[in-house]
Structure formats: C-alpha cells, structure tokens
Copies of this chain bind each other. A is one copy, B any other.
C-alpha cells in the first residue's frame, strides 16, 4: 500500500521525484511540481535529485551513488519531462551512468534540458580518515529558523534553514567581504535523509556572488558535482536531523564563479562534498 493509497500525502520531495518507466529502455517520465519551483524553472537541487532518482530506481543498478555531475543546459519548463538513465559501463564493483533529461520545446520537439553522469559503487570497509572536521558552530537550537512564509520562491519553503554566518544580505550596498556561508538545514517537513535528498541539499546555497558583492545580480548554476562520502546506512542513521552546510567561492571572473561546499550531519560526519560553476550576469 503506497502512502497515497493509505490516504497520506507524499512528502513534497518524494512527490517531485515520482518517475514512471515509459516502457522504453532506461527511460522514465516525470513532471515538475510547484513545491520546488524557483524563479524560471525548478530548483536545481530537485533536478539533480530527480536525475539521480532515475539511477536509484533503475533495475540494473549496482551499488550506491559515489559521484554525480549535473549540467543545467536550459531552464526546465513547467510540466512533463523524460529522463533517460543508461548504465554505459558496468564493472565488478562500479557502474557508470549517462543521464539526459528531455522536454518538449515550444515546437513539440524533445530537447535536452539537462545532462548528467553518475557513478554507483559497492563500497567496502577500508582504512579511512576524516580530514575535514565540521567547523565549531552554535548548535541548531542556538540558531534562529528563517521564517519560511517570507521566502520569495517556493522551493525555499521546503527547507528549514538556520543561518550561522553568511546569511543572505539584508543591505544590498555593494559592501560584501566574504563568500562563506554556514547554516543548519533540513527538510521542512521531516524526512529521513537519503541520496536523493542529499543531492538536492547540495544546491541549497544562494549564489555566492550575492554575498560576496552584497549585490543582487542574475545568477544560475551551470554545472554541479556531488561526491557522496557516506553510504546509505549512514544517511539513514542521520534521519531527519539537521545538516551543517558550508559553501564558499574561490574565484569570480568574467561571468562565472565556482563554489565548494561541504555537508556534515549533526554528529559531525562529512556526508558529501560538492562543487559548482555558476553563471552571473555582470
């Protein structure tokens, strides 16, 4: 019995991630949902999660997500799309995926709106060391929750955010000094963490250029990579707890900046590291 059959509403994330096999090999159909709408298309994080979801529910998948790179080729329009997730090389303990998201243009012809590659792998216990401890920050309980009702776009309302440092500027006076943001974040409606929700959270930061300049210029992610350092069991153990999310840029030049991010759980385990290259207009 599905939650819907039981009369329960699907979590907004699970609703956004609904993909149905089309009957063609490696192909699924999905659709955008209002809950994760951004200004001119869906939140990039939900697109990343959706493309990963196609891999996660593919019957031929082996292993768990290790890396994901999503290229945002065009704004996804409201409505239906298809995702093709093809295992192009399967090794003994790893699998390489090519993924493409297609949507009909105004002329009805399917066009590429996103591309991605992913690697899934069966991980074994080995020697390891955590060389990036979570920074010393106040606890979630010591940080104020941003009031979601005032968020200008829908997707932001799906997250409970508690800024620590580098919150979105309140004075757009051109006097920014740093690109570092730290915040506690989790799904606003509680949901146990998994690979799809973690992929979505990797894109949760507002554009670094807004913070660095204290100036609001048009910006949008062009490509995002997520490396998953934790396995499914560790994500499940994180449950619906808070994640400490940190992002900063290294360089802003001629219309593009980069962003490096880390996501730890409240126990201090580094769950994922992520990188983006982001367009800005001026």
Interface residues of A (CB under 8 A from B): 66-67, 69, 71, 73-74, 88-89, 91, 94, 96, 98, 100, 111-113, 115-117, 119, 121, 123-132, 179, 212-213, 222-223, 225, 227, 229-231, 248-256, 258, 260, 262, 270, 273, 275, 277, 279-282
Contact = CB atoms under 8 A, between A and B. Distances in A.
B225 A69 contact: yes
B124 A254 contact: yes
Give how many copies assemble into the complex: 2
Contacts of A277: 66-67, 119, 227
A281 B91 CA distance: 15
Instruction: Label chain A's interface by main secondary structure.
Output: strand
Contacts of A71: 67, 96, 117, 119
Given A132-B250, A222-B66, A270-B251, A98 B98 contact: yes
Given A69-B69, A124-B255, A126-B254, 20 more contacts: A66-B277, A69-B117, A71-B96, A73-B88, A89-B113, A89-B115, A94-B222, A96-B112, A98-B100, A117-B117, A119-B223, A121-B255, A126-B282, A127-B213, A131-B212, A131-B252, A132-B251, A223-B225, A230-B253, A251-B270
Contact of A115 (B117, B128, B253, B262): B117
Contacts of A258: 227, 229, 273
Contacts of A273: 250-251, 258, 260, 275
A98 to B, nearest CB: 6
